[in-house]
Amino acid sequence: MTKKIILFIIFFSPFLSFGQREIFTNTFLSLDNENQFNLRSYQGYYTELDSLLKKDSVFIKNKSFVGIANGVRYYTTNPGEPTYFFNEGKIFIKTNPFKKLHLQFNPSILRSNNFNTFSYEFSSYYQHKKWYIEISSERDLVGARALQVNLISNYYGISIDYSPVKNLTLVGGYQYNYITDNNKRNFYLTRIIYTLPNEKIYFDFRTKNMKGGIWSEYYFSPESISQQQIGIGFSQTFLNGRSSFKGYLGGGIQKIDNQSMYLLVCDFKLKTNIYKNLSGESSLGIRNFNTYIYGFCDLKLKYNF
């Protein structure tokens, strides 16, 4: 697979050489206190799509991008339980065919000794004055234990943002989750965001309710979830605007199958221009639900030319 990706890049690079281009690497790590570990790493090539289509094409006028990548996934859990290794070939497509409509589609092929499948991420959003509407869909592996029975998760969602006044945003959303063991779950989301006039600090209140789940021994699968959370977010630029830092701290309570517990959320993101056309981005997140702890780290590095 790696050789095919490299040959594809070499062959098509001359045809993709007039717009913005970048090479990149991305690594994602996650771990919880139940020893479920996930590693995803891939490297690829990304370019502005301005030479394969006519210059008067709507896709050229409004900027479109395509990319390809090759990488690996690794899943493991407790000692003595199976581990899983996948080769992944990924395609990136991003365009706004109309001025205020944006589309993104990232399909992947996953191959392993156990089984082969595909995954994808799709999102589209439309922004007009005080309204922002987003539709999204995703297909992916569930997790290390769920791979023992080859379970796949499918998400479909919609969210609507409305800003009645400058610094206030109201959000409502719905997600439908279907897992291939016939687990069907409905999520209902709300959020209120107030941003201070300096636009560097905001406060929010969130709710999340899930209904319709069935229990499974292979992944976290309560029959119902109810969450209420408040938080504060902040952002700051430094090094003359070459770097930025964002953070979010939140906490609240939740009920899982009528059992009450606290929750804590921490998210941090750092973006920096390392040297001329070389830039990096790192994200760190922690989720704590009573005795359960989940953490993740996402590292990206890209070079534009």
Q: Which domains does the chain have, with CATH numbers?
A: 2-304 (2.40.160)
Q: Where are the alpha helices (DSSP H) in the chain?
A: 2-12, 58-61
Give CA–CA dist 179/213, Å, rounded: 10
- What pLDDT score does 205 carry? 98
What pLDDT is attached to residue 103? 95
> Mean pLDDT, 10 residues at a time, over the chain (305 residues)?
48 51 95 92 87 51 84 92 94 87 96 93 94 97 92 98 96 97 96 94 97 87 92 94 95 92 96 93 92 94 93
> Residue 110 in contact with residue 141, Cβ under 8 Å?
yes
What 163-170 contacts at long range (C-beta under 8 Å, 24+ apart), as own/partner pairs, is 163/130, 164/130, 167/194, 167/195, 167/196, 167/197, 168/192, 168/193, 168/194, 168/195, 169/193, 169/195
The 3-state DSSP class for residue 58 equals helix
**Numbers of helices and strands, H then E, in the chain:** 2, 16
What pLDDT does residue 6 have?
A: 45
pLDDT score of 50: 61
| Residue 161 identity (one-letter amino acid) | D
Instruction: Show the tokens assigned to 188.
Output: 């209902």
> What gap in Å lies between CA 264 and CA 198, rounded to an integer?
26
